[in-house]
Structure 1
Amino acid sequence: MAEQITLLEAKLQNTEKDVLELRSLIGGTPRVAFSAALRDSGSGDIGPFSTFTPLKYKKVFSNTGNSYNPSTGIFTAMVKGMYFFRFSMFVSTVPNSVVSLMRNGERLSSVWDTSGSDTHDSGSNAVVIPLEVGDNVYVELYANKKVYDDGMNYNTFSGFLLFTM
């Protein structure tokens, strides 16, 4: 009987630990979300640059969790989890733009418009991806390409944590 009581006490302690851990997860769920536009003021082209260049989205609408850095244009995961990212691109005059969503230097998805005589073209793309702590996500402008904005916030970059893993 004493052996069974000792076993039940151990199980009870483990169950209490599990309950405390679950409470901490529910009450302490990380909140990560950001949304930003390319320009905080002014108008005109960004680019072209001679090399592939991360775009710096300066007009921050929200940055819960402070994972997005407007000085670099880079989102850095502070929590391991599954994330959603979306970006948009706008080009004026003769279309000449290619932008890509990048994770740690790896191209995930792109939007482009580089031919034709039409003007004012736009596009967007999105992904759902797993990230490890420290992973970087950013939007990259291809070399010798450009995007345009005039305060209407055509070029945006947003992301949020769906769930932790």
Structure 2
Amino acid sequence: MAEAAMQAAPKIAFSASLSNGGEVYKGPCTDKILVFKRVFSNTGCCYNEDTGIFTAPVNGLYYFSSKTYGYNTHNTGAILMKNGVLQVSTFDFCGADTSDTTSNNVVLQLVAGDKVHLELWENGRVFDNHNAHTTFSGFLLFTV
């Protein structure tokens, strides 16, 4: 019986980068949601490449990771939001070096319908191109 329940668990995973072609600079801007357009995988179709929002289809524990890349002209990093509330973040001040990367990972307990996305910091900026420097990924670990 336990084996049948495991096989029935939904398969949910996505991975995307900011740019689906050419160079993309995002920020500073008023619409701070990062929309990742180059989708590598979207099993379960829970990541929306038009809005940048992942919507949990089932109650469970989910793993998310993010990475940003930016040049020294602006602060860089991102805020991982769950239903509009900051969960974890990355941040790097603009400085003397030429570029910066940030990354973070988190496991969140979500209920069906919860929404997760990444946002820029105020006056922040990130960069991406065909090398996929700025990414957002997530997957369901198990249902609860």
Confirm or deny a common fold (TM above 0.5). Answer: yes
Number of matched residues?
A: 144
| Higher radius of gyration, 1 or 2 | 1
Q: What secondary structure, in the 3-state scheme, does the structure 2 residue paired with 1:27 have?
A: helix
The match for 1:156 among 132, 135, 138 is 135
- Amino acid of the structure 1 residue aligned with 2:79: S
Could you say which residue in structure 2 is the equivalent of 1:6?
none
Q: State the partner residue of 2:47.
A: 68
| TM-score scaled by length of structure 1 | 0.82
Q: 1-side partners of 2:117 and 2:127: how far apart? A: 18
Using the TM superposition, give the Cα deviation of residue 44 of structure 1 relative to its aligned residue in structure 2, in angstroms. 3.7
Tell me the equivalent position of 1:8.
none
Q: Give the % identical residues.
A: 43
Give the Cα separation in 2 of the matches to 1:120 and 1:35: 23
| Structure 1: segments with no counterpart, 5+ residues | 1-18
Amino acid at match of 1:26: M
User: How far apart in 2 are the matches of 1:44 and 1:74?
Assistant: 19
RMSD: 1.4
Runs of 4+ in 1 over 3 A off after TM superposition: none
Question: Could you tell me whether the CA contact under 8 Å between 1:84 and 1:129 is conserved in 2?
Answer: yes
Q: CA deviation at 1:79?
A: 0.9
Please state which structure has a larger fraction of its residues in helix.
1
Judged with a 3 Å threshold, the aligned counterparts in structure 2 of structure 1 residues 144 and 95 are, in CA distance, closer, same or farther, namely closer
Higher relative CO (Cα under 8 Å, sequence separation at least 6) belongs to 2
Partner secondary structure for residue 36 of structure 2? coil
